[in-house]
Amino acid sequence: MTSRRQSKYTPRIAPKGNLRTSAMIASLDSEGRDTVDAPFGHALTDLAKTREDIVGLTADLSKYTDLHVFAKAYPDRFYQMGMAEQVMLSAAAGLAREGFTPFATTYAVFASRRAYDFIVMAIAEENLPVKIVCALPGLTTGYGPSHQATEDLAIMRGMPNLTVLDPCDATEIAQATSAIADHPGPVYMRLLRGKVPDVLSRYGYEFELGKAKTIRDGSDVLFIATGLMTMRVLDAAERLEADGISCAVLHSPTIKPLDEATIRAEAGKGGRLVVTAENHSTTGGLGEAVAASLMRGDIHVSFRQIALPDAFLDAGALPTLHDRYGLSVDAVTAQVKSWL
């Protein structure tokens, strides 16, 4: 008798639905909003006018991390390292030891997965002021698991000495770039690139490293959000308000160190469903950090997460994927209604 053994490497079957797109890496949520072109690149270039210590490095991705703006303005302070993330970050560590403030850019998957040990040993353990700025965080590309950094916050949160940021929009990216340049230690910052929406300026928002801030108040739901999900929950809050549901939004761009005092104070007001929202896996990101903080603070509330599943995600058009995995405004609005 012969037996048939199924290979463990069976092909993944794509689900039904239209996943075709001509723009697999696209600007997010820009329709009907003001946008800013390459806010990181322009902010870094402006800083470099008065900061001769600032240098830029990239792993063959200057155009796709907006560092090309800096490279054009300061070619003698720009280093194209090729597709060699470990070499780039080791070189950044060497530059930091010589008194420079290096900004090293790549995609989030390559920094968090491919170069992790080099960041630990060359940068974080020595507490050097290297700024690692990474595009395509979470589900901001349709290119599938090879480019979707859905677990980078979990990976980077566990590293001692490393500050971890997830800015929301163009306004915050520009402000955060200036703030991390002044920070004495290493930083990992997620980056939205290209034409980035300007959302927070209408609220008079000012970024402060390590601080969470209330963007709007509400009595029924407290959203605690980070990154692009802050713009999504702000839109969802307006829709929910039209249905008589009052929503507060607390924006937490600094994932580590987490602003536990503000989060506990807001969650501890009582009577509100607490919902964390992040462009990251349910495992190891903002949601779990907030939940652990509330438990340690003896704050017991109704708590839910809006986040990506603990899975390798599909490739396809971003609007379709965001609907599928719960990050769209429609999905957020429907999910909150189902919980109330």
At 27 the three-state DSSP class reads coil
pLDDT band for position 29 (cuts 50, 70, 90): low
Residue 2 has pLDDT above 80, yes or no: no
User: Is there a single domain that holds both residue 39 and residue 174?
Assistant: yes
Query: pLDDT tens digits for 270-324?
Result: 799 999 999 999 999 999 999 999 999 999 999 999 999 999 999 999 999 999 9
What percent of the chain clears pLDDT 70, i.e. is strictly above it? 91
pLDDT band for position 33 (cuts 50, 70, 90): confident
User: Is there a single domain that holds both residue 110 and residue 169?
Assistant: yes
What's the CA gap between 207 and 189, in Å, rounded? 14
pLDDT at 32: 74
Closest CA to 334 of 236, 216, 252: 236
Which alpha helices (H) appear in the chain, and where do they start and end?
39-48, 68-73, 85-97, 108-109, 116-118, 152-157, 170-182, 228-242, 260-267, 286-296, 318-325, 329-339
Query: pLDDT tens digits for 123-180?
Result: 999 999 999 999 999 999 999 999 999 999 999 999 999 999 999 999 999 999 999 9
Q: Does residue 9 belong to any structural domain of this protein?
A: no
User: Is there a single domain that holds both residue 143 and residue 261?
Assistant: no
**pTM of the predicted model as reported, rounded to 2 decimal places:** 0.92
Residue 21 has pLDDT above 90, yes or no: no
What's the CA gap between 167 and 177, in Å, rounded? 10
Which of 5-14, 61-70, 259-268, 330-339 is least confident? 5-14
Query: pLDDT tens digits for 201-215?
Result: 999 999 999 999 999
User: Is there a single domain that holds both residue 44 and residue 190?
Assistant: yes
Residue with the larger pLDDT of the pair 169 and 33: 169
Query: pLDDT tens digits for 107-117?
Result: 999 999 999 99
Q: Does residue 227 belong to any structural domain of this protein?
A: yes
pLDDT band for position 23 (cuts 50, 70, 90): very low
CATH number at residue 335: 3.40.50.920
Domain count, the chain: 2
Query: pLDDT tens digits for 223-264?
Result: 999 999 999 999 999 999 999 999 999 999 999 999 999 999
Q: Under 8 Å CB-to-CB from 230, ≥6 apart: which residues?
A: 168, 169, 199, 200, 215, 249, 251, 253, 277
Residue 5 has pLDDT above 50, yes or no: no
Domain hosting residue 304, numbered range: 210-339
Mean pLDDT across the chain: 92
Q: Does residue 5 belong to any structural domain of this protein?
A: no
Q: Does residue 21 belong to any structural domain of this protein?
A: no
CATH number at residue 172: 3.40.50.970
